[in-house]
Amino acid sequence: MEIIENKETRPLDFIRQIIADDLQTGKHQGTVTRFPPEPNGFLHIGHAKSICLNFGIAEENHGRCNLRFDDTNPSKEDVAYVESIQKDVQWLGFDWGEKVLYASDYFPQLHAYAVELIQIGKAYVCQLLPDEIRQYRGTLTEPGKESPYRNRSVAENLQLFEQMKNGEFEEGTHVLRAKIDMASPNLNMRDPVIYRILKAHHHRTGATWKIYPMYDYTHCLSDMLEGITHSLCTLEFQDHRPLYDWVLDTLNTPCHPRQIEFARLNLTYTVMSKRKLLKMVEGRYVEGWDDPRMLTISGLRRRGYTPASIRNFARTIGIGKSESRIDMGVLENEIRNDLNLRADRRMCVLDPVKVIIDNYPEGLIEEMVGKNHPQDPAMGERMLPFSKELYIERDDFMENPSKKYHRLGPGREVRLRYGYLIQYVSHVTDETTGKITEIHCTYDPETKSGSAPDGRKVKGTIHWVSAEKGLPVTVRLYDRLFKVEDPEADKAVDFLEQLNPMSRVIISGAVAEPSLAALQPGETVQFERQGYFCADPLESKIGRPVLNRTVTLRDSWESKGQL
């Protein structure tokens, strides 16, 4: 039986709409898109949006999406980045086919096209200094002035360009410019530089080239050479589209991809620019590009986000042209949805306080059975050792609880999850610190595994760990990196001053149920009543887990201010 693809009935975004139209009218037989990162930094959640768009379109139309490194500026780029980028795209679950592509693969062709531009009188070598070029460009409201080098002969331009290529000139002394219109209201069209001299070592072509093509010139031609049908980029390139089109039209190329722009992703409680992320890394405000608080793909991976959650997130937020700032809660919601289905349940006490069950036999250890998932029996069960001395969460006991609080307190009875019902007897407080050191209870032997034969109702169920059999674990509670929704809103305040000092709280006294000893690095579990925690892929070891909190559980008690 043929499996019919479950096409969602949700409306197409404006880009997919354009593509559907192009396919329908026969303008294109299929789609070819591309994801073109510059290898000068790590990919972040904003890139993931673009990746999901471009590769998603390829999947939906049985088309192709190229991974192409836009490596035209050797002074900023590095192989380390090309490796991390490939890993991240792959991890997200996308496939770029045969091989990775590089703009630098096209340097010879790009050069030949530049020569052609010179030959048809559409490009010239300019010897204005960088500063002079800026002055000649004019301003937003005044037209620019033509360069004195603008009307050199074709022969002279060819000669000079060849000399640039041969490394005969110093950086900054000569550039190749497109001859368009110095009076254009679009500054990008005022004879843009298309080649500059750069004597840096290129990560792939080494010292072969002394001149490198600029983005605007490179991108459209690379798209064309790959037969890209739809070239998707962010809004700030809208003003560059006329230049994209000019190059392809002027060179009369065999195909002409359509550039379409969409709004980049912004999220609340974080910053997205590579520059700012780099500043946090270099200033040691975070541990590195893959710090679990970073919204980089590698940071999210370490935090415990799954590829599915990120792809669902991209689908949920959609594609549009209006600048937006998505609520971080939307991302968090996606990872909860995903992990809720697949994470095993476990118990871990983060801030332990000792409970002594006075009437429980000394030395007895009982094995209780816990479900790995409350709704999915197929996920199995595990054993939980129960003993006279236990730890419970300090939060789960109150000396003077309100009526709405249904955990442990004087006179209260609560259920220990998968354990017994226990009844409060007394508690001991340290005189000097004022902290509660132990709570005495009695248990009802008739209530093993948590239900009372007499049918009496117990409102609260709390988690616990055997004091004797518990496993000490290191837990890091991660929270949003910034304390304000938009760290960049106030121009007078440096975004670094808005960092959330509580974005990482390291807990060393936590105790988990013994099954946590088997946790594999990278594996994620739910600590019941608390949240999802991922064994750090780098620092966690079998038997000695280090857990990163991915996200808390939704909590309608805390969030309602515990009325």
Q: Which residues are catalytic?
A: 38, 264, 274
CB of residue 241 vs RNA: minimum separation in angstroms?
7
Question: What is the rounded CA–CA span in Å between residue 195 and residue 177?
Answer: 7
| SS3 labels along 95-108 | CCCCCCEEHHHHHH
Does 197 help bind RNA (rule: CB under 7 A)?
A: yes
Nearer to RNA, 13 or 245 (CB): 13
Write out the two tokens for 74: 């050797």
CB of residue 521 vs RNA: minimum separation in angstroms?
23
Nearer to RNA, 179 or 345 (CB): 345
Query: Residue 102 forms beta bridges with which residues?
Result: 69
Handedness of CA 223, 228, 230, 232 (dihedral sign): negative
Nearer to RNA, 72 or 231 (CB): 72
Write out the two tokens for 55: 């590769």
CB of residue 243 vs RNA: minimum separation in angstroms?
10
Q: Binding string to RNA for residues 136 to 175, with x set by CB under 7 A, is what?
A: -x-xxx-----------------------------xxxxx
Amino acid at 194: I
534 to each of 300, 337, 548, how far by Cα in Å? 11, 15, 5
Select from 187-195, 281-289, 381-389, 427-435 the region that touches RNA (CB under 7 A).
Answer: 187-195
Task: Find the binder of RNA among 407, 412, 427, 504 (CB under 7 A).
Answer: 407
The interface with RNA within residues 111-140 (CB under 7 A) comprises 128-130, 133-134, 137, 139-140
Does 555 help bind RNA (rule: CB under 7 A)?
A: yes
CB of residue 231 vs RNA: minimum separation in angstroms?
13
CB of residue 77 vs RNA: minimum separation in angstroms?
8
38, 70 in Cβ contact below 8 A?
Answer: yes
Q: Are strands 461-462 and 413-416 parallel, antiparallel or unpaired?
A: parallel
Does 375 help bind RNA (rule: CB under 7 A)?
A: yes
Nearer to RNA, 222 or 229 (CB): 222
> What is the number of other CB atoms lying within 10 angstroms of the CB of residue 61?
19
Question: What is the rounded CA–CA span in Å between residue 509 and residue 474?
Answer: 7
The interface with RNA within residues 450-479 (CB under 7 A) comprises 450-451, 460-461
The interface with RNA within residues 213-252 (CB under 7 A) comprises 214-216, 218-219, 235-240
Could you tell me which of 192, 245, 211, 185 has the C-alpha nearest to residue 74?
211
- Size of the residue set binding RNA (CB under 7 A): 92
Nearer to RNA, 163 or 539 (CB): 163
Does 404 help bind RNA (rule: CB under 7 A)?
A: yes
Helix (H, G, I), strand (E, B) or coil at 435: coil
Question: What is the rounded CA–CA span in Å between residue 176 and residue 127?
Answer: 9
DSSP 327-363: -HHHHHHHHHHHHHHHPEEE-EESSEEEEEETTSPTT
471, 512 in Cβ contact below 8 A?
Answer: yes
Helix (H, G, I), strand (E, B) or coil at 239: helix
Q: Binding string to RNA for residues 6 to 25, with x set by CB under 7 A, is what?
A: ----xxxxx--x--------
The interface with RNA within residues 91-110 (CB under 7 A) comprises none
The interface with RNA within residues 37-56 (CB under 7 A) comprises 38
Task: Find the binder of RNA among 76, 342, 456, 541 (CB under 7 A).
Answer: 76
Task: Find the binder of RNA among 186, 208, 359, 426 (CB under 7 A).
Answer: 186
Question: What is the rounded CA–CA span in Å between residue 485 and residue 157?
Answer: 53
CB of residue 551 vs RNA: minimum separation in angstroms?
10
Select from 115-123, 185-193, 476-484, 496-504 the region that touches RNA (CB under 7 A).
Answer: 185-193
277, 41 in Cβ contact below 8 A?
Answer: yes
104, 211 in Cβ contact below 8 A?
Answer: no
Nearer to RNA, 78 or 539 (CB): 78
Select from 114-122, 279-287, 398-406, 496-504 the region that touches RNA (CB under 7 A).
Answer: 398-406
CB of residue 246 vs RNA: minimum separation in angstroms?
14
Nearer to RNA, 65 or 335 (CB): 335
Task: Find the binder of RNA among 31, 33, 61, 72 (CB under 7 A).
Answer: 72
86, 97 in Cβ contact below 8 A?
Answer: no
Question: What is the rounded CA–CA span in Å between residue 532 and residue 339?
Answer: 7
Helix (H, G, I), strand (E, B) or coil at 544: strand
The interface with RNA within residues 352-371 (CB under 7 A) comprises none
CB of residue 538 vs RNA: minimum separation in angstroms?
27
The interface with RNA within residues 502-531 (CB under 7 A) comprises 526, 528-529
CB of residue 500 vs RNA: minimum separation in angstroms?
19
The interface with RNA within residues 317-346 (CB under 7 A) comprises 317-327, 329-330, 333, 336-337, 340, 345
Nearer to RNA, 17 or 520 (CB): 17
Could you tell me which of 234, 418, 196, 211 has the C-alpha nearest to residue 324?
234
Nearer to RNA, 233 or 356 (CB): 233
The interface with RNA within residues 535-554 (CB under 7 A) comprises 553-554
Write out the two tokens for 309: 């959650």
Residues in the chain: 563
What b-and-e string marks burial along 93-129, b requiring 16 or more CB atoms within 10 Å of the CB? ebebeeeebbbbbbbeebbebbeebbeeebbbbbebe
Question: Packing angle between helix 215-225 and helix 241-250, nearest 10 degrees?
Answer: 60
Nearer to RNA, 251 or 319 (CB): 319
> What is the number of other CB atoms lying within 10 angstroms of the CB of residue 151?
11
